[in-house]
Amino acid sequence: MKRVSLFLMLALICWAACKPKGSNSHDNNNSQEQDSAIATLDLINTPYFYTRLKGTMDNKPITMQLLKTTPSVYRGYYCYDTSGQPITIWGNGDAGIVKLYEESIDPQNERFFSGSLDSTGHFNGHWHGNGTSYKFDLHTDMKDALPFAVFYATDSVNLIPGNPKSPLGMSTAGTIWPKPVVTADIAAFVEQQITGSTIQDPQQYLRKTIDSFMVNYKSIASSADSSELNDSSSMASWNWTNETEMRVVYNQWPLLVVEKVKYDYTGGAHGNWGATYITMDLSKKKVLKPSDVFKPGFKEAFVPLLEKAFRAKYRIDNDESIRESLLTPAITPNDNFILTGKGVAFSYVPYEIGPYALGQITLYIPFSEIKSWVKQ
């Protein structure tokens, strides 16, 4: 099949193919040099990037994990430092003027950041929501945080070669990758969690992700009923899409939490998607599970707390059964979790505990409510 290809592989110019040297994962001798280099990241002209921003909004300290992972699209998370609860943000921008919406279940009350990025690593403007607005002023702050470069690629293939109306299979992939200043042992550990393999090159990893979709698309399409490909409405169902992306959720030594988001459309009424989280203890080079953090019996103990969080998030009265909103009688902790310095969130992909319309359900419990269950 003739392939219509647009393969973009961009990263910071300073990224090198060689492995970074060093064995101390938290070397204070070069931390000032690293912080200085990262702080000069040009947020306007760098095609794809990750940065951690710190500052204030309404005079309250906040931290933002901001990524530009695809052309003109920004994604990430922010939290109030006092609560640690990660809030999803996404948006777009041009020439440094950016608008970032935050996750909300209330379509009548949009909440968003509107401001400007600059070439010295600053983001400032106004947050709007709840009938008011607050000034925010953030700056790049990578102290005790792992620095990443961002890579992006896309490719497509015609189902019917030579037919200008042919259905199209399209795949896009983005990933974060430790920068060369990260010491070799930590970089290797994080890369293995990102790829799930021994691949040591981000471009090779993205190419493998895209090629896997292409091979599957062509293989399944080869067995398609020819009548489907002669009918315009049926033909449209063969416009398949695959999107994968990685984001940083929390990044404060020794904890690093990354998110893998995957979306697939392979015909039907809607696509399927979901986000999985990897919580890492960098000091031990270990992927954490809830059982590593909480004492035995925590699952049963957290059930009422997760229900409480669900009711608060989706505004469900205490006299109403959650069974009317969910597919399960109770919400039990799973291994898809986010650990921050202030609490823990458990996340459930569509259909895991709720209908597709609810999307991904992420519920946060502050440590103040579960401190007796946290291991020393």
The rounded distance, in Å, linking the Cα atoms of 109 and 128 is: 9
The tens digit of pLDDT for each residue in 248-277 reads: 999 999 999 999 999 999 887 888 999 999
Cα dist from 185 to 146, 250, 284, whole Å: 13, 20, 11
Q: pLDDT tier at 228 (50, 70, 90 boundaries)?
A: low
List the strands of the sheet with 343-348, edge to edge.
Answer: 337-339, 343-348, 361-366
Predicted confidence at residue 226, as pLDDT, reads 65
Give Cα 265 to chain centroid, integer Å.
19
| CA separation for the pair 135, 332 (Å, rounded) | 39
Count of residues in the chain: 376
- The answer, yes or no, to whether residue 111 has pLDDT greater than 90, is yes
pLDDT of residue 83: 96
> pTM of whole model > 0.85?
yes
Share of the chain above pLDDT 70, in %: 87
- Is a pLDDT exceeding 50 seen at residue 149? yes
Q: With b meaning 16 or more CB within 10 Å and e meaning fewer, what string describes 83-110?
A: bbbbbbbbbbbeeeebbbbbeeeeeeee
Looking at every residue in the chain, the average pLDDT score rounds to 87
Q: Tell me how far apart the alpha carbons of residues 66 and 53 are, in angstroms, rounded to a whole number.
A: 7
**What confidence score (pLDDT) does residue 23 get?**
38
Query: For residue 309, what are its two tokens?
Result: 């969080």
pLDDT of residue 72: 81
Please name the residues in contact with 114: beta carbons below 8 A apart, sequence gap of 6 or more.
98, 99, 100, 125, 126, 127, 128
Confidence tier at 20 by pLDDT (50, 70, 90): very low
In whole angstroms, what separates CA 163 from the centre of its chain? 37
Residues 62-92: tens digit of each pLDDT: 999 999 988 889 999 999 999 999 999 999 9
Question: For the segment 210-226, what is each residue's pLDDT rounded down to a tens digit?
Answer: 999 999 988 887 776 66
Q: What is the pLDDT of residues 117-133, one digit of tens each?
A: 999 999 999 999 989 99
Task: Say how far apart CA 330 and CA 352 lie, in whole Å.
Answer: 12
User: Percent of the chain scored above 90 by pLDDT?
Assistant: 68
How many alpha carbons fall within 13 Å on the CB side of residue 211? Answer: 6
Helices of type H across the chain:
31-39, 184-195, 202-221, 232-236, 290-293, 298-314
Inter-CA distances, 302 with 129, 139, 290, 308, 366, Å = 31, 36, 11, 10, 11
CA atoms of 173 and 204, how far apart (whole Å):
11
pLDDT tens column, 26-72: 444 344 444 544 556 888 889 999 999 999 999 999 999 999 988 88
Dihedrals phi, psi of 16, to nearest 5 degrees? -115, 155
- What does the pLDDT read at residue 269? 80
pLDDT value of residue 80 = 97
What is residue 72's three-state secondary structure?
coil
Residues 152-177 have a mean pLDDT of 90
- Cα–Cα distances (Å) from 258 to 43, 146, 351, in that order, read 21, 11, 22
Q: Which residue has the higher pLDDT, 239 or 27?
A: 239
CB-based contacts of 237: which residues, under 8 Å, 6+ apart? 228, 267, 268
